[in-house]
Structures are given as C-alpha cells and as structure tokens.
Amino acid sequence: MATSKDVAKLAGVSHTTVSRAFRGDVKLRKETYDRVMAAARQLNYTPNYLASSLKKRRSQMIGFILGDASNPFFMGIAEELEAILEPLGYRLMIAFDRYDPEKQRKMMQMMIASQAEAVIFIPFENIPEPEYLRASAPRLIQLFRNPYHDLSYLGFDDNYGAYIGMKYLLEQGHRRILVMGGGDRRQGFLDACGESGAPLPVFFHDDGTGDPQKQVEEILLQKKPTAVFAVANWYGRQAYMTMRRLGLRFPEDISFLMFDDLQWTSMMAVDVVAQPIRTLAQALAEEAVSLIQDNALPGRTVFKPRLICRGSVRSLSGEERKEK
C-alpha cells in the first residue's frame, strides 16, 4: 500500500508538501498541488485521516446536527460549510435528529464520544436544558435559535424578513394576504401591517390534524386572498401544489412570495425573502475554528435577509385595490 512518502518521492516534493496539498493549503502553488495529486492518483493513495488525528490527538472533525435531509435549505448550508472547512483541514460530520429532542441528545453524545471538536446544532425551545450541554460547552454553536445565552449563536433576523416581505406585498396593493407558517416571525408581519394601517393577514399553521393542502384549499376558496406568503420550503410546496390543483396561476391569478431562495424557487421565478446561506456558512466555519484554535469566547451573529423580486408578485391596479 502506497504511503505519503511514496507520493512525495514520485512527485519530487517533500513529505510536508504532500500533507499541505491534502489539507488544501491555499498558499501551495497550483502546479505543485497538481503534481502531488497526479502522483497520488498514479499510486492509488488515499490519506489516512484517522491515523493522523490519533497522532495529533485531535479529530479535526466538526459535527452538524440537522432536522432532516429533505430540507434543501439545511442541506445547502451543510454543502457550503463542508466546502469552506475542507481547505482548513476540518471534516464535517452530519447527523439528523428528525426534530426529536431525544434523538438530538443521542446524536450529540455520539459526536462528543467521537471527539468532535465543535458541534453545530439547532436547539429546541421550551424544554429543560440538557445535561450534555454543560459537558461540551463552549464548543457548541446554536443555529437559528438562541435559548442558551452562554453558547455561540448564529442566525437570521426572521422578524425583519417577515417585515420586508409583508411590506412588499402591502406596497403592491395587497390587503387580503394568506401567511403560511412563520409563527415565530409574527411580530414582523404585525409591524408591517401596523405601519401601513392594513388589516392583519390570515395565518395558517399546520397542526398535524388534517390534510394541509385541503385546509389551504378551503382558505383560498373562502377568503380569496390576493397573495400567499409561505414561510419556509415545506409551506411553499404545499401552497404551490394547492394553487396548481385549483388552476391558479401566479402572478396572474394570485401573487406568491416565499422565504428562502431554493433551486426550485429560482427555476419557477418565485419572489423570495432570501437568507444569505454562503455568508452564514462562512461565519459558522470561522466561529467553530475560533472556538477550537483560540479558545475564543462564544459569539453572537445575526444576518439580515433580503428581498429578491422575480415577477411572482403582481402590483394591483388602482381599481383592483379598491375591489380588494
């Protein structure tokens, strides 16, 4: 079996240069990197990260606990984060808690046992503080929710996102608006309506007691909203499928706005309140490395979303505004 020394000999470089190449050292010249990789391919060499970690007594692993793999927003963050961490010499270990606190506890303890040097997780609110958090602090990073104020936290200003999205709809003349999801962003909706003196939107939240598409269909037929504001991917898909089943086109028949800029929203030219995923991933990586390498104090960073208009929201004419 080939070793890194064999790769170094074939490539005509030092053993240290081979290590730098596989760490993704940006200071290494491209021609040197290419020569090392070509030699590694010729020898069918793969670095033994486990042995390296044991020798250094460091795992060089960062854990990331997510809800599930079906959410493209979460997976987009994970993909960006992995791409940023790899050149820094860190690997990303992903696990899923299925939105279950007990499952999250097991995943967290598994990562701690695997000597993850930091763990990023989405904490649950309104539950007693788990004991395992004390054992791992301060190298735990909260994402999106901040119930533990002595741990690092990174997230988005969701109320601001709700505010700019609702304000945008109101400025286009919409007054009968259906908001799907977003209970934790309620203040942003209320602020926008309060500023303009507009009536409050109709709120829909799936409580798991029925068919959400049927429930949304009833609201669309009875309340006849001129715009739908879906908060998050799941609600957006339910809204889209329901509108399609009813033969409603956007923006001709109804306006459609969503939280999160996903692949399908871009392809369908849906207006979105976009979260800066790449910026968040960069900040997550920097926070984790700072905690690991510098023993830094836990930080708190909040990013503001922005509005992307693609044409799925229609501006109502003067007569339409009177009718609506």
Q: What is the pLDDT of residues 72-102, one digit of tens each?
A: 999 999 999 999 998 888 999 999 999 999 9
Instruction: Domain count for the chain, please give it.
Output: 3
Instruction: Read off the pLDDT of each residue in 124-135 and give the average, rounded to a whole number.
Output: 76
Query: Which domain covers residue 27, as residue numbers?
Result: 4-47
Percent pLDDT > 90 in the chain is 65
| pLDDT tens, position by position, 236-252 | 999 999 999 999 999 99
Residue 54 pLDDT grade (very low, low, confident, very high; cuts 50, 70, 90): very low
pLDDT tens for each residue of 26-36: 577 888 988 99
Q: What is the strand order of the sheet 118-121 is part of?
A: 91-96, 61-66, 118-121, 140-143, 152-156, 300-303
Residues 52-91 as b/e (b if ≥16 CB within 10 A, e otherwise) read bbeeeeebbbbbbbbeeeebebbebbbebbbebbeebbbe
- Asked if residue 224 and residue 136 are part of one domain, the reply reads no
Q: Lowest-pLDDT range, 7-11, 28-32, 230-234?
A: 28-32
Whether residues 314 and 213 fall in one domain: yes
| Mean pLDDT, the chain, whole residue set | 89
Report the candidate in 275, 278, 262, 273 with the shortest Cα–Cα distance to residue 303.
Answer: 275
**For the domain that residue 97 is a member of, what is the CATH number?**
3.40.50.2300
153 and 282 both lie in a single domain: yes
227 vs 175: CA distance, rounded Å: 8
Contact 4, 18 (CB under 8 A): yes
CA distances from 293 to 88, 90, 97, 204, 250 (A): 12, 12, 28, 45, 50
235 and 313 in a single domain? The answer is yes
My answer on whether 82 and 21 are in the same domain is no
141 close to 300: Cβ distance less than 8 angstroms: no
Q: List pLDDT tens digits, range 156-203.
A: 999 999 999 999 999 999 999 999 998 889 999 999 999 999 999 999
* Same-domain pairing of 196 and 318: yes
Domain identity same for 43 and 86: no
The answer to whether residues 227 and 166 belong to one domain is yes
Planar angle of CA 6, 62, 282, nearest 5 degrees: 100
**Same domain membership, residue 297 and residue 196:** no
The two three-digit tokens of residue 33, written as one number: 């990197």
Same domain, 152 and 292: yes
